[in-house]
Amino acid sequence: MKKIPIGISSCLLGETVRFDGGHKRDSYIVGTLAEYFDFQPFCPEVAIGLGIPRPTLHLVRSEQAIRCVGIKQPDNDVTDRLRNYAGQLKPSLVDLCGYILKKDSPSCGMERVKVFAGAQPKREGVGIYADEMMRNHPLLPVEEEGRLGDAGLRENFIQRVYVLYRWKQMLAEGLTPHKLTTFHARHKLIIMSHADYRDMGQLLAGVTKENLVLVAEQYITQLMAVLKTVVKRPSHVNVLQHIQGYLKKELDADDKAELCEVFERYRSGEIPLIVPITLLKHHFRKCPDAYIEDSYYMSPYPQELRLINQL
């Protein structure tokens, strides 16, 4: 598989574009993730003509609007320039399958950016560029580098990246009703871990050549929204038990008891998700099932990323 195109704040790759002339190189991003992702760097503050180094910016609430202005030069309002830059980039970002932003940045922060209204700031803002970029690309998985330190958030982001990548691959090959329903079937167990998949199945039940484009747009919008939810252990156990059902005629009593014990140990937090999944894969190697083999649930991304080892 070729590397997946991902947008990223330039400073996270080690580029010296920060306001102080420094960078915020992230070792996990440039080490592990760079083996799988083709990072395309953007620094909106440099792109709109601000220098390196440059006066510090912050977000200020004024008359119910939030503006990005200089701390020492409040008349230096770059809000519109940042939004316009995000708009100019819209066509060039359509092929991206994800975006990693710099936390706390008044231009790039995804959430909880300080907003000043008087002396006491509140962490309630979104970076101006980030806000416009996310509005322009609502399907795009977006995360901050700081939140990638959380195992659940990290796995959730990368799972969404790979789902969107596979979706774009399918569209590039030519969309058909059969390909759309097959895509859903292969992701059904992943969807089940996040939410009830039946609504999406009902949406696809009425797909025809005539309404294909409309149904596909509704489907991917619902799918990417559903996948934003970080999966909890009980939901994974529900899916694991569902998968075990495909082995009900093949397993003996001891095998079933072992699986039940492993599932409960995972539910209680004693072991990571990789353990029950590895055990299930062992049984399916002996007793193959075409549906399970085609499903992405137990292999949603390259195993070398080791994400489920920490869930």
Give pLDDT, residue 196: 85
Res 308: pLDDT: 84
**For residue 198, pLDDT beyond 90:** no
Residue 207, pLDDT score: 94
pLDDT at 304 over 90: no
Average pLDDT of the residues in 129-152: 97
Token readout for 212 is: 């294909």
Alpha helices (H) along the chain? 27-31, 44-47, 79-89, 128-136, 151-173, 177-194, 198-205, 212-226, 233-244, 253-267, 274-286, 290-294
Mean predicted lDDT score pLDDT of the chain? 95
Segment 57-85 shows an average pLDDT of 94
- Return the structure tokens found at 263: 């599932």
Q: Which two tokens stand for residue 91?
A: 């066509």
DSSP letter, residue 303: G
Give the model confidence (pLDDT) of 220-264 as tens digits: 999 999 999 999 999 999 999 999 999 999 999 999 999 999 999
pLDDT above 90: residue 130: yes
Mean pLDDT within 163-179: 97
Is 80 exceeded by the pLDDT of residue 64? no
pLDDT tier, 199 (very low <50, low <70, confident <90, very high otherwise): confident
Instruction: Give 16-44 pLDDT, tens digit per residue.
Output: 999 999 999 999 999 999 999 999 999 99
Backbone angles phi, psi at 2, to 5 degrees: -70, 160
DSSP string spanning 60-124?
EEETTEEEEEESS-TT-B-HHHHHHHHHHHGGGGTT-S-EEE-TT-TTT--S-EEEESSSS-EEE
**pTM of this prediction?**
0.95
Taken as a whole, the chain contains a residue count of: 311
pLDDT computed for residue 254 by the predictor:
96
Which of 215, 176, 222, 231 is closest to 199 using CA atoms? Answer: 222
